[in-house]
Amino acid sequence: MEALQTTSSVSEEARSLRGLPPGPRLPGLVQVGQFVRDRLGMLERCAKRYGEFFTVRFPWETIVFTWNPDAVKQIFSGDPATYFAGQGNNILRPFLGDYSVLLLDGPEHLRQRRLLLPPFHGERMLAYADLIREITLAEIARWPRGRAFPVHPSMQEITLEVIMRAVFGMESGERHDRLRETLKQVLDEGARSILVFLPFLQFDLGGLTPYARFKRRMDEVDRLLFDEIAERRAKGGASGRADILSMLLEVVDEDGQPMTPQELRDELLTLLVAGHETSATSLAWVFYYLLSDTAALARAREEVFRVTGDGPPRPEHVGELRYLDAVVKETARLRPIIVFVARALQQPVELGGYRLPAGVTVAPCIYLTQRRPDLYPEPDRFRPERFLEGRQTPYEYFPFGGGVRRCLGMAFAQYEMKVVLATVLSRLALALPADSDVRPVRRAITLAPSDGTRVIAADVATAH
Ligand code: HEM
């Protein structure tokens, strides 16, 4: 059942529908406070008390959460003109720009998405294995041996460099180094505080405010990116290169129009923001769960050595790493770094026996759905075998969201994570320190391990 007609033509069935689902009756600001402090706890309490549909009220937004797979299916396969996702990301506009696929809705969103899709097809990923492996080897060569250190910052270094090289296609050199440094500063500031993104705090005061600093850095990022785009276009687009910018330089829309420099710049920054921290945090969680489970770790290492032989992984190995694939998937089930996705209703909709008015946001909850005991027996247990034994529908398992908004970088991220993990496992024996104590903490929009997943590394040769 899709969007309703006008009130005068509402059916008998619709008349019998209830209004918004139940939810906490506390004032909006208190609900915001609870949500910011402990969103998983709040979602769990609401699910227990109110069931598969519940309403959370913020002063600026009413959100109906669901963890019912039929409702998730209805939302993900619904008309994109009814379910808007882009406007909710508006706060990122000063960084990502007006053409960002993350911010658009309707036909403009579909246009950008169609242009971006081809370079992200699964089979293209093979081209990146060697690059990701080399970046990983260079990073782990710097890891200390025999004492605990957090892997999360190191994963950020790897995923940033992967984006600089595989997505932007930038070779080492002065422009690469300056862009990398400036982006790190901007991303770090954005992850620590969203204040620079709030419109009412965007004033300059002679260049002294955090916003002024942010603006200066963004001007530098733009200059470097536009220079790179112009130089590459002048050299003739892809010319045998496999990076994503090279491919985007060649795509044309239905009218035969290529992407403009501004569109290219906006999408490159979107891919960076959507793909850097998410992949790094996911990897940090995979290390945590894998190292917490001796049997899973032994099985993963055995697979890596059997498939890759003595050396680190090559492109043809990645598809063979089935248990590692299951480890990555089970980690994303148990600890999705994005807890829910959101769609703002542009028309009234019937969902799960409720009649929801336009203006309400519906939120398929990744975290709650993926811990349903009927779908995942012993849901709190890390058991990668689940993903070797059965298949889940895209409405029962959706760490990358769904429908026309599903993560564009899903295949890229899963491939990258497997290459990084296999490379690390092929070279190092890892363990968690005895005092390891990890909780999920909020970092920008993701939930990250509180201690950055501290590990102790030893070279494989010395570990045997
Ligand atoms: C493990 C890592 C990642 C996770 C968990 C993740 C998760 C997500 C989620 C939950 C969404 C929202 C989907 C929705 O609203 O239904 C999304 C969107 C998106 N992701 Fe990812 N992502 C990851 C890595 C990446 C990478 C590596 C890239 C690109 C290089 C990327 C690019 C995007 C883009 C462009 C969108 C917006 C799609 C649209 O609005 O049409 N992501 N991602």
Q: Is the CB of 89 under 6 A from ligand 1?
A: no
- The two beta strands, 428-431 and 454-459, are antiparallel
| 350 backbone dihedrals φ, ψ, rounded to 5° | -95, 130
Structure tokens at 336: 């999705």
Q: Which of 397, 400, 412, 446 to mutate to test the pocket of ligand 1 (most atoms within 8 A of CB)?
A: 400
Residue 270 CA, ligand 1 centroid: distance in Å? 10
**Closest to 100 (Cα-Cα) out of 88, 113, 82:** 113
CA angle, residues 439, 440, 444, in degrees to nearest 5: 145
Q: What is the pTM of this model?
A: 0.92
Rounded distance, CA 415 to CA 325, Å?
9
Residues 6+ apart with CB under 8 A from 133: 312, 313, 314, 419, 423
Residue 341 CA, ligand 1 centroid: distance in Å? 11
Among protein residues, the one with the nearest Cα to ligand 1's atom 6 is: 400
Which atom of ligand 1 is least distant from the CA of 337? 5
Among protein residues, the one with the nearest Cα to ligand 1's atom 19 is: 407
Tell me if 185 sits within 8 A of 210, measured CB to CB. no
User: What is the per-residue pLDDT for 177?
Assistant: 96
Q: Is the CB of 245 under 6 A from ligand 1?
A: no
Q: Is the CB of 409 under 6 A from ligand 1?
A: yes
Residue 281 CA, ligand 1 centroid: distance in Å? 13
Q: Is the CB of 408 under 6 A from ligand 1?
A: yes
Residue 381 CA, ligand 1 centroid: distance in Å? 26
Tell me if 440 sits within 8 A of 288, measured CB to CB. no
**Below-70 pLDDT ranges, the chain:** 1-17, 191-208, 237-239, 461-464
Among protein residues, the one with the nearest Cα to ligand 1's atom 39 is: 405
Q: Please write the tens of the pLDDT for every residue from 432-458.
A: 999 888 888 887 778 899 999 999 999
**Closest to 392 (Cα-Cα) out of 339, 326, 321:** 326
Q: Is the CB of 66 under 6 A from ligand 1?
A: no
Q: Is the CB of 88 under 6 A from ligand 1?
A: no
**Three-state secondary structure call for residue 143:** coil
User: What is the per-residue pLDDT for 124?
Assistant: 81
Q: Is the CB of 337 under 6 A from ligand 1?
A: yes
User: What is the per-residue pLDDT for 429?
Assistant: 96
Among protein residues, the one with the nearest Cα to ligand 1's atom 43 is: 407
User: What is the per-residue pLDDT for 126?
Assistant: 85
Q: Is the CB of 446 under 6 A from ligand 1?
A: no
Q: Please give the span between the terminal C-alpha atoms of the chain, in angstroms, as a whole number.
A: 60
User: What is the per-residue pLDDT for 69?
Assistant: 98
Rounded distance, CA 305 to CA 289, Å?
20
Residue 399 CA, ligand 1 centroid: distance in Å? 9
Helices assigned H by DSSP within 77-209: 93-96, 106-116, 129-140, 152-162, 174-192
Q: Which of 92, 267, 278, 367 to mutate to test the pocket of ligand 1 (most atoms within 8 A of CB)?
A: 278
Residue 342 CA, ligand 1 centroid: distance in Å? 13
Q: Is the CB of 119 under 6 A from ligand 1?
A: no
Rounded distance, CA 223 to CA 221, Å?
6
Residue 400 CA, ligand 1 centroid: distance in Å? 6
Amino acid of residue 417: M
User: What is the per-residue pLDDT for 340?
Assistant: 96
Q: Is the CB of 241 under 6 A from ligand 1?
A: no
Rounded distance, CA 237 to CA 83, Å?
36
Q: Is the CB of 399 under 6 A from ligand 1?
A: yes
Check residue 88 and report its DSSP letter: G
Structure tokens at 71: 């409702």
**Closest to 56 (Cα-Cα) out of 339, 446, 393, 408:** 339
Q: Please write the tens of the pLDDT for every residue from 297-310.
A: 999 999 999 999 97
Residue 464 CA, ligand 1 centroid: distance in Å? 39
Which atom of ligand 1 is least distant from the CA of 413? 27
Q: Is the CB of 407 under 6 A from ligand 1?
A: yes
